[in-house]
Amino acid sequence: MGMTISQKILADHAGLEFVEPGQLINCKLDVVLGNDVTTPVAIPEFNKLGKKQVFDKERVVLVPDHFTPNKDIKSAEQNKTLREFARRYEIKNYFEVGRMGIEHCLLPEQGLVLPGYLIIGADSHTCTYGALGAFSTGVGSTDMAAGMATGEGWFKVPESIRFVFNGVLPQWVSGKDLILHLIGDIGVEGARYMSMEFSGEVIKQLSMDSRFTMANMAIEAGGKNGIFEPDQKTLDYVSDRAQKPFKIFTSDPDARYYETREYNVSNMEPVVAFPHSPENVRPVTQAADITVDQVVIGSCTNGRLEDLAVAASILKGKKVHSQLRVIILPGTQNIYLEALRNGYIETFVSAGAVVSTPTCGPCLGGHMGILAKGEKVIATTNRNFVGRMGHPESEVYLSNPAVAAASAITGRITPPEAVA
């Protein structure tokens, strides 16, 4: 019997010829990732192990991105803990403010995560790197500590669900709409502890930025990981970035799947996830005229250059509605610079938006965009739980960047074609 791409990566890192769903295995890790929220919790656990060094100074990656630049004294202390650990153990890939970015935008850009890799990160959206054909998944801080010390982790081999997208992608519809539509179909626990494998003719059409968006939100369906088979677009993306060798894995024709689901997207319109769940998905036309107080375009889900380009194309020559706030967050410093060179930043500022340094802040209700009681936001982020971006009586609506930008102009949730 054949294996899926996820099974093959896990088998390779466990030194086994074959693994099957449900099997418990111990694997060698390629990358262990932590941020300013989770690493300070992992450090005391690491210290308990009595190790004098991390397993590999180049494969432990630390990115302060949630409360940076420091929001308050507590976040400053957390970041100091992170910084001192990085210095003590000579962590090569520690990214201080000015070099940092939102971690799941930064690591692919820097060539630190690659096809065929096995990656754990103490952040649930570590599943983003499956866009490259890697097996990447979020873990707790204790598992991160063990990973930093030993370079190993244990896994239960997941079942795989194959999601096949057919048809032609309509204008203004992107990877964000595909993954939200999928989550709306199967629910937030529909792929619990399963590998979500994305395929089909539409997936082949998708840019790498849209693939990152889809893999990023696999966790919102309960997935252990989201993954794409590498193709020429993948190789083009990593060819000039890769810092180490990598392997290409693909699923066997006779691989066994728990389920296969097919979608035809030719007639799809952009969608919006209503409060308070990513599965509460409706077409944007059913959300029209909901007034919002804030628009957020960015995050590890939609803070890449393509996302900013789409938003700029809609906002160019127009003005943000006078009754709301618009916050733009480039995913990394390099994305920020490229957006500047392309004129996107001038477009945003001229329209009346504010452009922030790369940060996760607004997405998790940390800083740089907290909601007050009763306020509503349309955001390109990944979660809209109760209180996710501020007061528990605020409301978060999730969309793609085109819908968010259109809504910024009108002050209410708006289909892009209405203003473009």
CATH assignment of the domain containing 142: 3.30.499.10
Last residue of a domain, one of 239, 262, 285: 262
Same domain, 94 and 40: yes
Task: Compute how many other C-beta atoms are within 10 angstroms of the C-beta atom of residue 12.
Answer: 18
Same domain, 363 and 230: no
Q: How far is residue 364's CA from residue 103's CA, in Å, rounded to a whole number?
A: 14
- Token pair, residue 32, equals 């262990």
> Would you say residue 89 has pLDDT above 90?
yes
Same domain, 257 and 283: no
Same domain, 258 and 326: no
- Token pair, residue 128, equals 């983003």
pLDDT at 266: 96
Same domain, 59 and 204: yes
Q: How far is residue 175's CA from residue 207's CA, in Å, rounded to a whole number?
A: 9
> Would you say residue 420 has pLDDT above 90?
no
pLDDT at 288: 84
What sign does the CA torsion over 281, 283, 284, 289 have? negative
Same domain, 323 and 218: no
Task: Compute how many other C-beta atoms are within 10 angstroms of the C-beta atom of residue 252.
Answer: 13
Q: How far is residue 202's CA from residue 42's CA, in Å, rounded to a whole number?
A: 40
By percentage, how much of the chain surpasses pLDDT 90? Answer: 95
What are the pLDDT digits (tens) for 305-343?
A: 999 999 999 999 999 999 999 999 999 999 999 999 999
Domain hosting 187: range is 5-262
pLDDT at 162: 98
- Using 50, 70 and 90 to split pLDDT, how confident is the model at 352? very high
List CB contacts of 81: < 8 A, sequence separation 6 or more.
39, 40, 43
Number of domains in the chain: 2
Distance of CA 212 to the CA centre of its chain: 6
Same domain, 240 and 283: no
Strands (E), 106-158: 118-121, 135-138, 152-156
Provide the phi-psi class of 64: left if phi over 0, else alpha when psi is between -120 and 50, else beta: beta
Task: Compute how many other C-beta atoms are within 10 angstroms of the C-beta atom of residue 239.
Answer: 9
What are the pLDDT digits (tens) for 366-393?
A: 999 999 999 999 999 999 999 999 999 9
Element (H, E) at 397: strand 395-398
- Token pair, residue 281, equals 């998905």
Provide the phi-psi class of 343: left if phi over 0, else alpha when psi is between -120 and 50, else beta: left
- 3-class DSSP assignment, residue 61: strand
Last residue of a domain, one of 216, 245, 262: 262
Q: How far is residue 89's CA from residue 148's CA, in Å, rounded to a whole number?
A: 11
Same domain, 224 and 331: no
Same domain, 408 and 305: yes
Same domain, 243 and 329: no
Same domain, 243 and 289: no
Instruction: Tell me which residue of 147, 153, 115 sits closest to 33, measured CA to CA.
Output: 147
pLDDT at 243: 84
Last residue of a domain, one of 262, 288, 305: 262
- Using 50, 70 and 90 to split pLDDT, how confident is the model at 72? very high
> 254-280 as b/e, with b when 16 or more CB fall inside 10 Å?
ebebeeebebebeebbbbbbbeebbbb
Q: How far is residue 141's CA from residue 62's CA, in Å, rounded to a whole number?
A: 13
Same domain, 286 and 173: no
